[in-house]
Structure 1
Amino acid sequence: MPQKKKKMKLTKKEVESYRKVVLAERTRIIKELGRIEEAISDSSEKGEASKKSHSNHLADQGTDFMETEKNFYYASQEGHYLRSLDEAIERMDRGEYGKCSDCGELIGDKRLAAVPGARRCIECKSESEKNKRGRQ
């Protein structure tokens, strides 16, 4: 029985389908970053007002501070994700999207559907995470 030839590259149709997903996700992230920016700005203004009035309890100020810190953390995470989506678009433009940056094999459809900005196949990503944990 002849062996099935292993697919080495996504078709143009597949890439364009993933491009739509990546662009939609990118738009969602940009909106989310705008919402986070508003929340940070609102809590900053609230903090300034409470300093002037001295009516806020320390516990309330601590809660406000934690909320601001949480928003900065989310913004940082979303910023990293946005960068991965931008890099995915660049790989699409170069004809490299869907190819693992470590082993060169095609990244599985399920992985790309779950993580459209993925640059490693699941095996290489697992190995990378294992190595990262080993260094800590």
Structure 2
Amino acid sequence: MLTKEELKYFENKLLTIKQGIIDELESNHQLSLDVYGELSSYDNHFADTATELDEQEKQMMLYESSQKLLEDVNEALERIKNGTYGICIDTGEPISIYRLDALPYAKRTMEAQKKYEEETNLKRDQEERYIELDADNDMRIDKELQQKHGNSSH
């Protein structure tokens, strides 16, 4: 278990990270409004429009990543309040102080995090395989229909 001093240390560290994320989100939001405004292709060359769209997609990815990090930090602060900070959410084992110092919003031990990531990647791979199989099935059905009924070029 962590001491009161250690909990206070991590709480301060998390609050500093949280404020940094909030500042960054506000700054990026204002920047995207100032620089990009509305995406309009009226006077733009298509390459300029594509560049603007690419930049907006990057900004959206950064925003989503920051939002996820903010959620993790808020969850860690909540765990400090309810007395479960520093305890792995999957195994109930203590998270090493070194891991918490490096990643104060960590909610799993290193071993549990590796297992979680492996399971998540396996699930993602299975979903992708299912989508590929479904696409192959759709192509097979399309080929069968073309063989049976021809296509519009015949």
Structure 2: distance between partners of 1:47 and 1:95: 47
Structure 2 residue 80 is matched with structure 1 residue 88: no
In structure 1, give the amino acid aligned to 2:5.
Answer: K
Instruction: From the CA coordinates, give the structure whose radius of gyration is larger.
Output: 2
Q: Which has the higher contact order (CA 8 A, sep 6+)?
A: 1
Contact residue 43 and residue 68 of structure 1 kept, 8 A: no
How many residues are treated as equivalent by the alignment?
124
Q: Percent identity?
A: 32
Structure 2: distance between partners of 1:12 and 1:75: 34
Contact residue 102 and residue 124 of structure 1 kept, 8 A: yes
Structure 1: distance between partners of 2:116 and 2:66: 21
Contact residue 39 and residue 71 of structure 1 kept, 8 A: no
In structure 1, give the amino acid aligned to 2:26.
Answer: G
| Worse-matched range after superposition: 32-41 or 76-85 | 32-41
In structure 1, give the amino acid aligned to 2:112.
Answer: C
Q: Which of 59, 74, 77 does residue 71 from structure 1 map onto?
A: 59
Give ranges in structure 2 of 5+ residues lacking alignment. 126-154
Structure 2 residue 17 is matched with structure 1 residue 30: no
User: TM-score, normalised to structure 2's length?
Assistant: 0.76
User: TM-score, normalised to structure 1's length?
Assistant: 0.85
How far apart are residue 128 of structure 1 and its match?
0.5
Q: Deviations over 1:14-70 (max 9, x none)?
A: 00000010000000000110122112212442634x63xx1x211111111110111
Q: Which residues in structure 2 correspond to 1:48-127 (within 5 Å)?
A: 48=40, 51=42, 54=43, 56-127=44-115
Q: Determine helix, strand or coil for the equivalent of 2:39.
A: helix
Structure 2: distance between partners of 1:93 and 1:46: 42
In structure 2, give the amino acid aligned to 1:112.
Answer: L
Contact residue 18 and residue 116 of structure 1 kept, 8 A: yes
Q: Determine helix, strand or coil for the equivalent of 2:37.
A: helix
How far apart are residue 88 of structure 1 and its match?
0.6
Q: Deviations over 1:54-103 (max 9, x none)?
A: 1x211111111110111011000100100110111110001110110111
Q: Match of 1:12?
A: 4
Give ranges in structure 1 of 5+ residues lacking alignment. 1-8
